[in-house]
Amino acid sequence: MYRKKIKAQAFDCMQNFYGTVQEPRIRCYVRFHDHISETSLKKAVQLSVGAIPELTCVFDKKRHCWEKRPFTAEDMFCLINISGEGESSRFPYLLTAIEPTCEPQIKILLLRDERHDTLCLIINHMVSDGAGFKQYLYLLCDLYSKCEKDAKFSKSPEPLGRRNLNQLLKNLSFKEKLAILFSKSNYGKPDPAIVLPLTGDSSHPIICRTQIEKEQFNAIRHFTNDCHVSVNDMILTAYIRVLHQITGCKKITVPCPVDLRKYKKEGQQCGICNLTGNYWCDTEIAPGEIFSETLQKVSGQMRSQKQSNDCLKGPMLFHMLFHILPFSAVQKSFLRISPVPVTSYSNLGILDNERLCFGGHEIEDAFISTAVKKVPYFQLSVSTYQGRCTLTSSLYGSEEDRKLVSGVLNQIVQEIRLNFA
């Protein structure tokens, strides 16, 4: 039996605070080679609620809690017949909005053309971050596969674990916690001039995408291994250099989300939730500086921060304030201490092709994308599936903005291609 109200966690509310500059949603696109079973998918969606009861809740902004509603798969899932096989006929559905105060916290759209199905999944970021969303996707795949194999399957999963930061903090000693709290803040201070010349259109959400194909991405991986840097370092370096070229700013500061689940103990199971902190890449590019020089700077900064616990300071402070101060004071403190960066970056990692598996149906393409930003805010999102790397950005913008952003994404890829050989 579900509770009528579920307490919202600190990080749930933090994502709600971000609503002033973006719709905090995460999106996944899955393109199939054939048609899948909508009956099995709808059943899997209904069963999946057992793992995340918040999906069938609405968010009560006055009481700052989740309120249970009698939503079913009928409210979360929809089959839509479309004509045409081009991306232009499918991508708009990926930008579907969720109203968290009156709708379920997830929408799953199955787009069906003559030969293929395409799945668009949109989840409220208040419920889960990118890593948690992947957990949910793999759970949905598992449930779908079981439902397709056995029409009588009806076992709903239990919640996978706790949803708050305490589940990670309890793994640290009192001395370690004190050291983190008194450590130097790792918050960067981006130059306000680091903005793209976008015009914006509040009524027109758009998504731009480009890809690095498997053969070339594999070559990039070999190159980064030989240079003792990461693929993420390579992409981030290209992004920073393109921002430098467009804005003329010498010093580029970009936040890079880090999955705090790295602090869980071996075998510890976290619930599907938000557990994300930030590294900050603060890079000054000298006149005439070549790509490899910037790459070493970026890699050095990332390596240093990965070896430190400083990325926990901000989340720990927010978690403490959330449980001590009145909600209104928490909101004011958060937006003052940690304003949303205008230009940002998010690497959502690898979609595991062995776990992203809907029965035996072949998947042709898949990627994850992040929030639709309000101009001047801009975010580059990166994800990888079956060795193909996808770069996306979503915003409320004009068709001219679409051309500009598509050009930026292509420029980033070109910067990588010219410098990994």
Most confident of 85-89, 268-272, 410-414: 410-414
Query: What is the reported pLDDT for 84?
Result: 77
Q: Are residues 175 and 140 in the same domain?
A: no
Tokens of 281: 């890449």
Residues in the chain: 421
What is the pLDDT averaged over residues 36-64?
95
Mean pLDDT of 278-293: 94
Mean pLDDT of 286-309: 94
pLDDT single digits (tens) 178-218: 998 888 776 667 777 899 999 999 999 999 999 999 999 99
Q: Is the confidence at residue 25, as pLDDT, over 90?
A: yes
Same domain for 118 and 242, yes or no, is no
Q: What is the pLDDT of residue 1?
A: 44
State yes or no: pLDDT of 140 exceeds 80: yes
Range of the domain at 17: 5-149
- Cβ–Cβ under 8 Å, residues 245 and 239: no
348 and 402 share a domain? yes
CATH number (domain holding residue 372):
3.30.559.30
Are 127 and 225 members of one domain? no
Q: What is the pLDDT of residues 217-257, one digit of tens each?
A: 999 999 999 999 999 999 999 999 999 999 999 999 999 99
Q: Which pLDDT score, from 0 to 100, does residue 123 have?
A: 98
In this structure, the strands spanning 22-23 and 372-374 are: antiparallel
Tell me how far apart the alpha carbons of residues 89 and 367 are, in angstroms, rounded to a whole number: 17
Say yes or no to pLDDT of 16 above 90: no
- Is residue 156, in this structure, part of any structural domain at all? no
Same domain for 141 and 24: yes
Same domain, 54 and 178: no
Q: What pLDDT sits at residue 421?
A: 64
Contact predicate 161/289, CB 8 Å? no
pLDDT of residue 187: 65
| Residue of 367, 356, 415 lying closest to 391 (CA atoms) | 367
Q: Which of 149, 174, 196 is the last residue of a domain?
A: 149
154, part of any domain: no
Dihedral sign, CA of 279, 323, 67, 56? Answer: positive
**136-156 mean pLDDT:** 96
How confident is the model at residue 185, as a pLDDT?
72
What's the pLDDT tens digit per position in 359-395? 999 999 999 999 999 999 999 999 999 999 999 999 9
Same domain? For 310 and 276 the reply is yes
Do 255 and 341 meet the contact criterion of CB atoms below 8 Å apart?
yes
Average pLDDT of the chain is: 92
Reported pTM: 0.94
Query: End-to-end distance of the chain based on CA atoms, in angstroms?
Result: 59
